[in-house]
Chain A
Amino acid sequence: MASDGKSVGKGVGTSVGDGRLGRLLVPAVPFLWLGALFLAPVAIVLKIALSDATIAQPPYLPVFDWSEGWTAILDALGALDIENFALLTEDPLYWRAALSSLRIAAISTVLLLLLGYPMAYAMAKAPEKLRPVLVMLVILPFWTSFLIRVYAWIGILKPEGLLSALLLHLGLIDEPLAIMNTETAVFVGIVYSYLPFMVLPLYATLEKLDATLLEAAEDLGCPPWKAFWRITVPLSLPGVAAGALLCFIPIVGEYVIPELLGGSDTLMLGKTLSDEFFKNRDWPLASAVAIVLLVIVVGPIMVYRDIETRRMERAR
């Protein structure tokens, strides 16, 4: 069989060349996709970030003129204008927004982990027949628009809202809740919205965990609660990493939740970016913020990828 295949290949010389072209075409598709829909937009944003704001349509000056060809591009590169980035480092507002974003994302991720781990654990321990139903229940909220779900939280959290009314009725509080438009509300919204992204990867790891490992630990004299810490937790760390990064990365750039539930004192980069873009019409500065956000978020993604590749190698 193998020799047959070889003789055919030899006989029709051109088919070898065609095969090579085909082999190049296959990876070319995702590369084109990435180039057109990811790299090109980033390049455009970067170009805007390097330009100056102006009152015009569009509201920024070109960095170089395409019509002047290569010399203009090279000139522009020679006198690179990074004043927008310089401004970001100088104005404490941006520092505070960046740090606040990271802080809120970090705290939210920890809260998500504390809430999501027990949920995922319970799901993985549930009777096998029940598990698909539980997974379905976790995914179900996605069937409604994210925006509508965050709006719904306003109705729950506002002083005359459902939660406040319930607590007043139960006599647990004396005056209406004042958590709307505070950071607490932002945390509630974030934890609610991102919980599935934490629960699902955790569930996937915990469900695959070999139950005989826990029996072996118990057989060797380890009580179940201790076996949880010595066996279950270390073996679920890949799921913890996946869930944490899947939540942390988008939360850093989160815009809708702090905009709708947060107050004026809730600083986050996503909100700053939108303010620069829509309120100040300073597209170059907004673009610079976007680039900074990208850089902040790329770090954790690299870490995650590194963990994933190492895990895949080990699995092999």
Chain B
Amino acid sequence: MTAAAEGRKRDTLAIGAVRRNFAPWADPAAVPLIRFEKVTKRFGEATAVEDLSLDIYEREFFCLLGPSGCGKTTLMRILAGFEEPTSGRVTLAGRDLIGVPPYRRPANMMFQSYALFPHMSVEKNIAFGLEQEKLPKGEIAARVAEMLRLVQLEPFARRRPDQLSGGQRQRVALARALAKRPKVLLLDEPLDALDKKLREETQFELMDLQVKLGMTFLVVTHDQEEAMTMADRIAVMDRGRIVQVATPGEIYEQPATRYVAEFIGDVNILEGRIGQGEGGRWHIAAPEAPRGLLVDGGGDGVAPGRQVAVALRPEKLRLLQDEPAPGTPNVLAGEVWDIGYLGDWTIYLVKLASGRTIRVSRANATRFVERPITWEDKVFVTFAPEAGVILTR
């Protein structure tokens, strides 16, 4: 094993040790690094951020996730100091940030367009922030060299940004923002301009780097896959508000609302009315499931008679060719409408009698299947009570 590979392995182990038990948000004694308290931002008539409160902890890799126009970028720009909130308070490490200009804030930003200075070489770009602090020349040079090594751009130190590839520019932007060792690094759609393969590699590099530097990262993205891969916690935003703040696993498995369930990953939604409760589970009368649904207990507001939505992830559904025994709940009868073969997965679109299509995905765990399911087959979609999530909002 080469030294580099060995080093890499050690880093990976370190990430495991750091990430394994990292959950300051669950600790009531922990003091957040960044606090947004009832922050509202209006641009004329339009409200970009509305009465939003959020705590972010030190060393956290935090993602603001949402569609364009949901206010996530505005929230980040408020933290960077480019926008002043209309009302509310923002503190960083206990210090009130309202009225502090961007150039006096201990936060640095990596811009979506990278915003590299076109008339300066790579090393000058990285040194720019350090020169503002009036550090001694020797220290600036040492810090620039360290950053170049960190992002593996040493051979390109004297190039100008227009002589670099997109991926290299992204690294320069990252090195420039990291050079000042900010308390928090803000990343605005950091991987948006990269192609798919490079994006995946860079996701893991960013995670590596964040653990190695022990820094707090706040990422704005509209790409749910990116957020799920990188973040310790994700805040899902919708029209200026935060809908849910949770770990990627919680967001996916226990979405708080229908909006979150539909925004993250694929989901089937069945509507129904809550009936009898039975040992922490609820019977739900759904017109599309003649035998009725039996789903594990939801959160607040679940009560008999309530109209609810049941969210079902495609990979938690089973596809049967033979009708299940009478009396079993959670059966949807339909016909295979379309099949998408992805290699590792196959996606089946099953059309119910009501005309609604249910998406079922199945891992292709074996190479050959005895009775393959094919187009226009009569099939039965079933699922376990714990597979469904009852959503009241």
Chain A residues in the interface with B (C-beta under 8 A): 210, 212-213, 215-224, 226, 230-231, 234-235, 314
* Contact indicator A219/B119 (Cβ below 8 Å): no
Complex alpha-carbon distance, A223 and B101, angstroms: 9
The smallest beta-carbon distance between B163 and chain A, in angstroms, is: 10
- Considering only CB atoms and an 8 Å cut-off, how many residues of chain B contact the other chain? 25
Which residues of B193-223 have CB atoms within 8 Å of chain A's CB atoms?
none
Interface residue B111 (Cβ < 8 Å from any Cβ of A): yes
B113 at interface by CB-CB < 8 Å: yes
The digit string for B113-133, where 1 denotes a CB below 8 A from any CB of A, is 101111100000000110011
Partner of A212, one of B101, B102, B104, B111: B111
Chain A proximity of B97: nearest CB distance (Å):
14
B109 touches A (CB below 8 Å): yes
Asked if A215 and B115 sit within 8 Å, CB to CB, the answer is: yes
Could you say which of A216, A234, A314 has the most chain B C-beta atoms within 10 Å of its C-beta? A216
Residues of B within 8 A of A213 (CB): 115, 117-118
Say which residue of A212, A221, A230, A314 sits within 8 Å of B103 (CB atoms): A221
Quick one: which of A215, A224, A231, A235 contacts B111, CB cutoff 8 A?
A215
Chain A residues with Cβ below 8 Å from B109 are 216, 219
Interface-centre pick from B109, B132, B176 (highest chain A CB count, 10 A): B132
Report yes or no: A212 in contact with B119, Cβ–Cβ below 8 A. no
Chain B residues with CB under 8 A of A223:
101, 103
- Closest CB-CB distance, B3 to chain A, in whole Å? 34
Q: How far is the CA of A231 from the CA of B124 in the complex (A)?
A: 12
> Which residues from A are CB-within-8-Å of B51?
none
A220 to B131, CA, bound (A): 9
Q: Report B-chain residues with C-beta under 8 Å of the C-beta of A220.
A: 103, 108, 128-129, 132, 176-177, 180
Establish whether residues B103 and A235, one from each chain, have CB atoms under 8 Å apart when the complex forms.
Answer: no
A174, B102: Cα distance in complex, Å: 52
Docked Cα-Cα span, A279 to B47, in Å, equals 75
With both chains docked as a complex, state the minimum distance between the C-beta of A148 and any C-beta of chain B, in angstroms: 43
A216 and B118 in contact, given A222-B103, A223-B103 (Cβ under 8 angstroms): no
Instruction: Chain A residues near B101: list those with CB within 8 A.
Output: 218, 223
Instruction: Please name 28 pairs of A and B residues whose Cβ atoms are closer than 8 Å in the assembled complex, sorted by A.
Output: A210-B115, A212-B111, A212-B113, A212-B115, A213-B118, A215-B82, A215-B102, A215-B115, A216-B111, A216-B115, A216-B117, A217-B117, A217-B128, A218-B81, A219-B80, A219-B108, A219-B109, A220-B103, A220-B108, A220-B132, A220-B177, A221-B103, A221-B104, A221-B132, A223-B103, A224-B103, A234-B119, A314-B162
Q: How far is the CB of B215 from chain A (nearest CB, A)?
A: 16
Complex interface: chain A residues within 8 A of B104 (CB): 221
**Closest CB in chain B relative to A232 CB, distance in Å:** 11
Bound form: Cα–Cα A80–B66 in Å: 81
In the bound assembly, the distance between CA atoms of A231 and B129 in angstroms comes to: 13
Interface residues of B (CB under 8 A from A): 80-82, 101-104, 107-109, 111, 113, 115-119, 128-129, 132-133, 162, 176-177, 180
Q: How far is the CB of B130 from chain A (nearest CB, A)?
A: 9
* 10 A-B pairs with the lowest CB-CB distances in the bound complex, closest first: A220-B129, A221-B132, A216-B115, A212-B115, A218-B102, A219-B109, A218-B103, A234-B119, A221-B103, A222-B132
Tell me whether B118 and A235 are in contact (CB under 8 A): yes
Instruction: List A contacts of B180 (CB < 8 A).
Output: 220-221
Q: Which of A221, A226, A314 has the most CB of B within 10 A?
A: A221
Residue in A closest to B82 when the chains form the complex, CB atoms: A215
Contacts of A226 in B (CB 8 A): 132
Which of B101, B108, B128 has the largest count of A CB atoms less than 10 A from its CB?
A: B128
Please give me the residue from chain A that is nearest to B102 by CB atom: A218
Nearest chain B residue, comparing its CB with the CB of A237: B119
- The reply to whether A231 and B82 form a contact with Cβ atoms under 8 Å apart is no
Task: Return chain A residues, CB-CB under 8 Å to B108.
Answer: 219-220
Which residue of chain B is the closest to A216 with respect to CB atoms?
B115
Q: How far in angstroms is the closest Cβ of chain B from A68? A: 60
Set of chain A residues within 8 Å of B103, measured between Cβ atoms: 218-224
Q: Which residues of B contact A314 (CB under 8 A)?
A: 162
Which residue of chain B has its CB nearest to the CB of A315? B162
- Write out the residue numbers on chain A whose beta carbons fall within 8 Å of the beta carbon of B128: 217, 220, 222, 230
Cα A234 to Cα B118 in complex, Å, equals 10
| Interchain nearest-CB distance for A221 vs B (Å) | 4
Closest to B126 in A: A220
B372 to chain A, nearest CB (A): 42
CB of B180 to closest CB in A, whole Å: 7
Note all chain B residues with C-beta closer than 8 A to A224. Answer: 103
Query: Bound state CA distance, A67 and B50, in angstroms?
Result: 92
Contacts of A216 in B (CB 8 A): 109, 111, 115-117
| A275 CB to nearest B CB, Å | 47
Cβ-closest chain B residue relative to A234: B119
Residue with the highest number of chain A CB atoms closer than 10 Å, among B102, B162, B176, B180: B102
Question: When chains A and B are docked, how far (Å) is the Cα of A215 from the Cα of B188?
Answer: 13
Measured between C-beta atoms, what is the minimum distance from A238 to chain B in Å? 10
Q: How far is the CB of A160 from chain B (nearest CB, A)?
A: 52
In the assembled complex, the Cα of A31 lies from the Cα of B132 at a distance in Å of 53
Minimum C-beta distance from B55 to chain A (A)? 23
**Beta-carbon nearest neighbor of A222 in chain B:** B132
Per the bound structure, the CA–CA distance linking A234 and B119 in Å amounts to 7
Q: A212-B111, A314-B162 are in contact. Are A219 and B118 (CB under 8 A)?
A: no
What chain B residues lie within 8 Å of A219 (beta carbons)? 80-82, 102-103, 107-109, 177
> Residues of A contacting B102 with CB < 8 Å?
215, 218-219
Specify which chain A residues have a CB less than 8 angstroms from the CB of B80 in the assembled complex: 219
* Cβ of B172 to closest chain A Cβ, rounded Å: 12
